[in-house]
Amino acid sequence: MALPQAKQDLTEARLAGLERPDGAGWAVAARDAAVARLRETGLPHRRDEYWKFTRPETLTDAQAPSAALFDTGDEAPIFETLDCVRIVFVDGVFDPEASDDLALEGVTIERLAEAQHTDIHWARDLYGALEERGQVPVPRTLAALNTAMASDGVLIRVTGAASKPVNLVYNHRSESSDAILHHVVKLEEGAELTVLENGPAAARFNKVMEIDVADRAGFQHVRTQGRDHERRAATHIFARLGQESVFKSFTMTANGVLTRNECVIELTGDDAVAHVAGACMGDGDFHHDDTVFITHDAERCESRQVFKKVLRNGAAGVFQGKILVKEGAQKTDGYQISQSLLLDEDSQFLAKPELEIYADDVACSHGSTSGAIDEEALFYLRARGVPKSIATDLLTLAFLAEAVEEIEDEALRDEIVTRLEGWLSRRRG
């Protein structure tokens, strides 16, 4: 079927506004293929079923809407005190001064902008490959656009257990920045790595992270997206999991006029484990969309999706979560919960949980709820002398706790809880 003219126009307009980075054979081929994928399906349009709850215009327009910079006051960047290899991007541009040496034992770290000029590179089999697999059955063409046009990113290959995390920091200093970054992470058999991400990134940010987790390897991901009010972001995680491997990703988001976080995971080896969780809170014109697609294509795998949203003053939250269990993926254990805490009647939460199962011996469950603060609990706390605003914060934190508890590492979990408490008390003013 021919692409509708409107889609074709917006896709071409967006492509015309971008400069294709040059490179060597493998990178050029990957980018060419991505452009072809993009032209075949076109960028998302608001009539697309997959974009029913989130309007994509400002993510697809040729010109990025500007976003005022946000002063975080005396709040230090999260993860700053942790021992990490820190890699800093400012409005999508690598900042060598602020970044550490890209050196870590058992890990090779390179920039895409440099590696794409080498003739032979391990990333050639991965760059854009997991993204391409993720286009079926639902197109995710913002990710194809990313593969085609990403200006930079990091390529990380892990052969052992990394002694410390890699921290990707995204600073936002220009009101009109439009950044596209593409990261590739390859964990060899038995390897382990933690990737931390934080920062508002740009006025508009398109980011893809492809993660190949080999047999018995472990990947942990913790990211925060905050606190600029006007920033926009479309992010994609594409992960493929080998036998007995473990993948855990947690995202905390505060503010942001538009965020769409997609996570596409394929469990291809038996006994693999994938947990994806998110906690977000927003006010006013905040719109946050978590779209998750987990495919079970092996036996005895476990997947968990835990998403919590705190919304007030007309904020909107979206959750689209799917568990697809393929034929033969017996003993699958799939769990999905999405909940919202609506602090007033103007806010809304839209959820579309889906299960599609082609195996007969599986345990899958999903649930979705929207609710207000528990008045009984609120009164109990107040009757003991806790002021209403603090009591509301305590109950808000308690609501988010189930998602935060998905972070396995205690030090990282504490960092997140401390930050959440700080954000709540700042909001209280």
Partner 1 sequence: MLEINNLHVDLEEEEKTILKGVNLSVEAGKVHAIMGPNGSGKSTLSYVLSGRDGYKVTEGTATLEGEDILGMEPEERAAAGLFMAFQYPVEIPGVGNMTFMRTALNAQRKARGQEEMSAADFLKLVREKAKDLKIDADMLKRPVNMGFSGGEKKRNEILQMAMLEPRMCILDETDSGLDVDAMKLVAEGVNGLRDAGRGFLVITHYQRLLNHIEPDVVHIMSDGRIIKSGGPELAIEVEENGYRDIKAEVA
What does the binding site for partner 1 look like in residue numbers (CB under 8 A)? Answer: 374-377, 379-388, 390-391, 394-395, 397-399, 401-402
In the complex with partner 1, which residue's Cβ is closer, 28 or 373? 373
In the complex with partner 1, which residue's Cβ is closer, 143 or 403? 403
Backbone angle region of 174, left / alpha / beta, with phi > 0 → left and psi within -120 to 50 → alpha: beta
CA–CA distances in Å: residue 245 to residues 212, 217, 303, 374:
10, 5, 12, 39
Residue 19 CB, shortest distance to partner 1, in Å, is: 49
392 Cβ neighbours under 8 A, 6+ residues apart? 343, 373, 378
In the complex with partner 1, which residue's Cβ is closer, 163 or 418? 418
Residue 386 CB, shortest distance to partner 1, in Å, is: 5
Residue 226 CB, shortest distance to partner 1, in Å, is: 22
3-state SS string over 174-210? CCCCEEEEEEEEEECCCCEEEEEEECCCCCEEEEEEE
Q: How far apart are CA 213 and CA 224, in angstroms?
A: 22
Residue 343 CB, shortest distance to partner 1, in Å, is: 16
Nearest to 413 by CA among 267, 194, 125: 194
Residue 308 CB, shortest distance to partner 1, in Å, is: 11
In the complex with partner 1, which residue's Cβ is closer, 97 or 410? 410
In the complex with partner 1, which residue's Cβ is closer, 179 or 391? 391
- For 359, the token pair is 């195996």
In the complex with partner 1, which residue's Cβ is closer, 9 or 405? 405
Residue 389 CB, shortest distance to partner 1, in Å, is: 10
- For 399, the token pair is 């609501």
Gyration radius of the chain's alpha carbons: 21
3-state SS string over 339-390? EEEECCCCCEEEEEEEEEECCCCCEEEEEEEEECCCHHHHHHHHHCCCCHHH
In the complex with partner 1, which residue's Cβ is closer, 27 or 391? 391
Nearest to 206 by CA among 6, 398, 64: 64
Residue 167 CB, shortest distance to partner 1, in Å, is: 29
Q: How far apart are CA 179 and CA 153, in angstroms?
A: 11
In the complex with partner 1, which residue's Cβ is closer, 205 or 250? 250
- For 191, the token pair is 């390897």
User: How do beta strands 218-225 and 93-94 pair?
Assistant: unpaired
Residue 11 CB, shortest distance to partner 1, in Å, is: 45
